[in-house]
Structure 1
């Protein structure tokens, strides 16, 4: 019910651009261009790069406007932004060049965070991206194949080693996902890559479950060798 009310409110109430604040548009053309424009999709690598990290493509650079859009969708419930964010993820998936059917598997957020927000932002973006890819002729399906098996500490402020220790053994494949993960190449999806630890741990879980990870796609990646975590984007 909460998500339904937010979507209706977005249709009838005046809004400002979630990225730059320009009035009377939920996302202006300039900010939309920062998310998956032809010149913004690129491969990104953290430094140091964690073992097992698959190729990662980002739709945009983690900067003021992109950060604001991600926060608006994830933390403030601007659910209408799932469509342009899905477009961005689809562009990043396309850059991986995976042929044939592809499974988009979101990196899972903590259940308490999803409950607090009232929606699963990453899963919502994954579904939107899969719909875009299907319209473009790529058989794509978003599947919630991973879950948290235990509580973890807040990732904000942890370095790469701290994040790896925090997430070690924290993810698992959901029951019955083994056959599904083995059926087609997997692309892990997330909103933001910082140290790359979450993606490398998720890739390991998929591989152990019998899947083949073709790469990862994120909305935003680092400008330089590494981007620092934002506490408000915590998982």
Structure 2
């Protein structure tokens, strides 16, 4: 008997099996480890920074071309654990609460004048490397962006997600690189395909990511969108490291 060929999209299958496993297997809270709950009430509250809401963040130094950035929570403790569980361990259902936090960051930007006119606000996820997406079985930032857009539409905001950025060359892992090295690493690494460029024309684009550290990747994403004729209205992320950023409500 000839064996059936293996599925061609192994990353997609891994994502499907993770979804199914989450439905039938006992899980622990991604934030604190409390048994039999994927995200306990205390960790859910921690995602919202104790009710203080989102804030504008600024890296030090600010890379050239970086738009205004809003973050939903500091990258620490439960927030860090939940983001890593979603991104690296395939806890896919955590996209919904993380998307709600990202939605809060988007709304904070809108309250300060982001968007306005020119049709619906377009959320543009920062892309992961193809190899990383294949290894994880999902694209974490795109998944969070879709969850955020659903939350924003429930709140009455006209918004859509456009995966309009792609990597044009390989970059090395940013971990361990300082701010200058990160700028060099990602310089010219992103592009907007012509079809996506036409969809971006005239619409306010808000770059979205799960985490911002030095701001190098968001600055490169902004450069690529502008080069394609798009209008970058700002950026929103789930979290930013409070120790190296100034959280500011203005």
Is 1:93 the counterpart of 2:93? The answer is no
Match of 2:223? 204
Question: Secondary structure, in 3 states, of the residue corresponding to 2:102?
Answer: helix
Aligned length: 227
Question: Secondary structure, in 3 states, of the residue corresponding to 1:43?
Answer: strand
Question: Secondary structure, in 3 states, of the residue corresponding to 1:176?
Answer: helix
Distance (whole Å) between structure 1 residues aligned to residue 16 and residue 132 of structure 2: 19
| Cα pair 1:178 1:210 within 8 Å, conserved | yes
Q: Which moved more, 1:154-163 or 1:92-101?
A: 92-101
Distance (whole Å) between structure 1 residues aligned to residue 244 and residue 91 of structure 2: 30
**Structure 1 residue 223, shift from structure 2 partner:** 0.9
**Structure 1 residue 178, shift from structure 2 partner:** 1.4
**Structure 1 residue 36, shift from structure 2 partner:** 3.2
Structure 1 runs (4+) deviating above 4 angstroms are none
Give a deviation string over 1:11-65, Cα, whole Å, max 9, x none.
2211111011111211112211222354041111110111111111111111021
Gaps spanning 5+ residues in structure 2: where?
A: 1-12
Match of 2:64? 51
Match of 1:67? 80
TM-score where L is the length of structure 1: 0.92
Give a deviation string over 1:194-222, Cα, whole Å, max 9, x none.
00000011011111111111111111112
TM-score where L is the length of structure 2: 0.87
2:95 to 68, 76, 82: 82
Give a deviation string over 1:67-112, Cα, whole Å, max 9, x none.
1111110111000101111111111101001336111101111111
| Cα pair 1:105 1:145 within 8 Å, conserved | yes
1:28 to 32, 40, 45: 40
Instruction: Give 1 or 2 for the bigger CA radius of gyration.
Output: 2
Match of 2:235? 216
**Structure 1 residue 180, shift from structure 2 partner:** 1.1
Gaps spanning 5+ residues in structure 1: where?
A: 228-235
Distance (whole Å) between structure 2 residues aligned to residue 79 and residue 23 of structure 1: 18
Match of 1:102? 121
Is 1:128 the counterpart of 2:147? The answer is yes
Distance (whole Å) between structure 2 residues aligned to residue 54 and residue 132 of structure 1: 23
Match of 1:12? 24
2:54 to 25, 41, 47: 41
| Cα pair 1:44 1:57 within 8 Å, conserved | yes
RMSD of aligned C-alpha atoms? 1.4
Question: Secondary structure, in 3 states, of the residue corresponding to 2:188?
Answer: coil
| Cα pair 1:36 1:87 within 8 Å, conserved | no
| Cα pair 2:127 2:167 within 8 Å, conserved | yes
| Cα pair 1:36 1:89 within 8 Å, conserved | no
Question: Secondary structure, in 3 states, of the residue corresponding to 1:27?
Answer: coil
